[in-house]
């Protein structure tokens, strides 16, 4: 469980990046922070592994203030996936995945064997393990990033727009892969994105942020889409967008779902 207690972060000479943010992320759940740039979502994520120190307020993991923890040990206990993979360009894929176990003192050979298994687990050919990150596609690099985050079997995964830089088809595959992994692993995931559809797909709970890390609304995707708290949320999640308005029409005795633009999007299950 991760608790944000009235967390604020102000950078000198700027408006508050985050002010008085409080949230509880329950264990084994995926909570998605969604907002546009300037909403402070990445800043909030980075307070969890102390890459950012709050100006005021506290972040607790299982009741313990992260400031009590040694930052290096803390970071090794948390899986972190970055937008551009954040892989080390000079280390092979296997060594990248084995980074944290090796830093923690696991023998190299053993860590590499485990890394090879993880490579398969995230849907990559183990033969890629001997390559360098520069030789992989963007989507493959993101999968390696996920494998590295899982290598030390952390309870918590922090994901900072991990699929933002890959093409839409690849992004969809990566999202499905994450859902599949999470169904097996039950990690506590904090996921940051600016993509509402991604947030609704992945989040058990979604937190819509407005400028300065202020919570506009939080709830399950259905709650937010069904009852947007205000015009900002309605606009942000596109509740009024034509493709969100599904009507049912009957064609040849079958019920067809049609969106607001008249485009058929599916058939009603009998």
Partner 1 sequence: MNWLSLNWPQVVELARDHLLLSAPAILLSVLIAVPIGRLAQQRPRIGGTLLGAASLLYAIPALPLLIIIPAIFGIPLRSPATMIIALTVYGVALLVRTAADAFGSVDPRVREAAVAVGHSPRSVLWRIDLPLAVPVLLAGVRVVAVSTVSLVTIGALIGVPSLGTLLTDGFQRGIPAEVATGIIATMALALLFDALLIAAGRALTPWTATRHERPLPQEETT
Binding site for partner 1 (CB under 8 A): 46, 49, 51, 72-73, 75-76, 80, 82, 84, 86-91, 99-100, 103, 123-125, 127-128, 131-132, 134-137, 139-140, 148-149, 170, 173, 177
Closest approach of Cβ 132 to partner 1, in Å?
4
Can you tell me whether residue 248 is helix, strand or coil?
strand
CA distance 161 to 195: 9
C-beta contacts of 113-119 below 8 A and 24+ residues apart: 114/151, 115/147, 115/151, 118/147, 118/150, 118/151, 119/93, 119/94, 119/144, 119/147
Q: How far is the CB of 24 from partner 1 (least distance, A)?
A: 23
Query: Based on CB atoms, which residue is closest to partner 1, 74 or 258?
Result: 74
**Shortest reach from residue 237's CB to partner 1, in Å:** 29
For partner 1, the closer CB: 152 or 199: 152
Minimum gap (Å) between residue 160 Cβ and partner 1: 9
DSSP 8-state class, residue 68: G
| Nearest residue to 209 (alpha-carbon basis) of 58, 13, 31, 41 | 41
Specify burial of residue 217 (Cβ count, 10 A radius: 0-12, 13-18, 19+): buried
Of 97 and 209, nearer to partner 1 (C-beta) is 97
Measured from the CB atom, the residue of 19 and 140 that comes closer to partner 1 is: 140
Between 19 and 188, CB nearer to partner 1: 188
CB of 92 to partner 1, least distance (A): 8
């Amino acid at each position: 469980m991760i608790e944000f207690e009235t967390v604020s972060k102000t950078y000198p000479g700027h408006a508050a990046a985050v002010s008085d943010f409080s949230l509880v992320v329950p264990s084994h759940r995926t909570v998605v922070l969604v907002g546009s740039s300037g909403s402070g979502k990445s800043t909030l994520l980075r307070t969890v592994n102390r890459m950012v120190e709050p100006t005021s307020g506290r972040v607790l993991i299982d009741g313990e203030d992260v400031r009590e923890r040694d930052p290096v040990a803390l970071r090794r206990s948390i899986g972190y996936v970055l937008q551009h993979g954040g892989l080390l360009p000079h280390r092979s894929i296997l060594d990248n995945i084995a980074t944290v176990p090796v830093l923690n003192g696991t023998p190299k050979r053993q860590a590499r064997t485990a890394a090879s298994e993880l490579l398969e687990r995230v849907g990559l050919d183990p033969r890629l393990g001997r390559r360098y990150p520069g030789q992989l596609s963007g989507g493959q690099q993101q999968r390696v990033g996920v494998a590295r985050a899982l290598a030390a079997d952390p309870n918590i995964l922090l994901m900072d727009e991990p699929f933002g830089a890959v093409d839409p088809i690849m992004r969809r595959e990566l999202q499905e892969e994450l859902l599949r992994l999470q169904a097996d692993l039950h990690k506590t995931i904090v996921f940051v994105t600016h993509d509402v559809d991604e947030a609704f797909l992945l989040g058990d709970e979604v937190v819509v942020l407005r400028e300065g890390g202020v919570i506009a609304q939080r709830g399950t995707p259905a709650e937010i889409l069904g009852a947007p708290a205000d015009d900002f949320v309605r606009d942000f999640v596109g509740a009024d967008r034509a493709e969100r308005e599904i009507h049912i029409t009957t064609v040849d005795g079958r019920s067809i779902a049609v969106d607001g633009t008249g485009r058929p999007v599916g058939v009603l299950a009998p």
